[in-house]
Chains A and B, each alone.
Chain A
Amino acid sequence: DTGVSQNPRHKITKRGQNVTFRCDPISEHNRLYWYRQTLGQGPEFLTYFQNEAQLEKSRLLSDRFSAERPKGSFSTLEIQRTEQGDSAMYLCASSSNRDKVWSEKLFFGSGTQLSVL
């Protein structure tokens, strides 16, 4: 169990550019979540996957945001035409499904810090 891995750790981009982040959950964790955290605030829910299915999306997730989890393992979060307001820490978390019992315990990665200039 190596924990939730996120890449890159930091991303600096110019306004209008597209960026993509990757998350590798803990092995065999079926649920994967994306959260966004701005300075001085708690994480805010963006979306989550159960296996490869995206089951819920927050209203925070504008049309410029898209998340995928094509094979039910790693996930990517893409932001198109970035804006300065997108600057934040993007956190990924996963939870287990051992013995077909869902666990509420979320394990977070270290996040990707996005700065849009």
Chain B
Amino acid sequence: GENVEQHPSTLSVQEGDSAVIKCTYSDSASNYFPWYKQELGKGPQLIIDIRSNVGEKKDQRIAVTLNKTAKHFSLHITETQPEDSAVYFCAALNTGFQKLVFGTGTRLLVSP
């Protein structure tokens, strides 16, 4: 089955800096890669996603890149703000199955 690894487990940046979180997946048949943000006491919130036929996607300060050959994908947050502080999860899905497999999460702390 699919296995998703995520790094780093914690990331501290100063406000205005960029943050990068990286994930690798094992199943070459996976074709959908979402990123979720989870704040304390809340469920995961979808912030951006990418399909395997696209190499990069951007939404304002957030971007995701996908390298299918290397089986890794990354989340990039530019101009970080304190409200970006949360736990971020990557995930992978083979749309032939309905089981989204999550990474172990990255705790991002943005200091003012």
Contact = CB atoms under 8 A, between A and B. Distances in A.
Interface of A: 4, 6, 31, 33, 40-45, 48, 55-56, 58, 91, 93, 102, 104-111
Contacts of A55: 98
Contacts of A110: 41-43
Interface stretch (B12-20, B53-61, B69-77, B88-96): B88-96
A56 B1 CA distance: 15
B98 A44 contact: no
A104 B32 CA distance: 8
A57 B95 CA distance: 16
Nearest to B41: A110
Contacts of B46: 105-107
A58 to B, nearest CB: 8
B101 interface: yes
Contacts of B97: 56
Contacts of B105: 40-42
15 contacts: A42-B4, A42-B104, A43-B89, A44-B102, A45-B100, A45-B101, A56-B97, A56-B98, A91-B44, A93-B43, A104-B34, A105-B34, A108-B44, A109-B43, A111-B43
A91 to B, nearest CB: 5
A6 B42 CA distance: 11
A102 B93 CA distance: 13
A58 B1 CA distance: 12
Contact of B98 (A4, A31, A41): A31
A108 B45 contact: yes
A106 B42 CA distance: 15
Contacts of B95: 102, 104
Contact of B99 (A41, A45, A109): A45
Contacts of B89: 42-43
Given A40-B105, A105-B34, A56 B99 contact: yes
A42 B103 contact: yes
B69 to A, nearest CB: 22
Contacts of A105: 34, 46, 49
The 7 closest A-B pairs by CB, nearest first: A42-B102, A108-B43, A45-B99, A104-B32, A110-B43, A108-B44, A42-B89
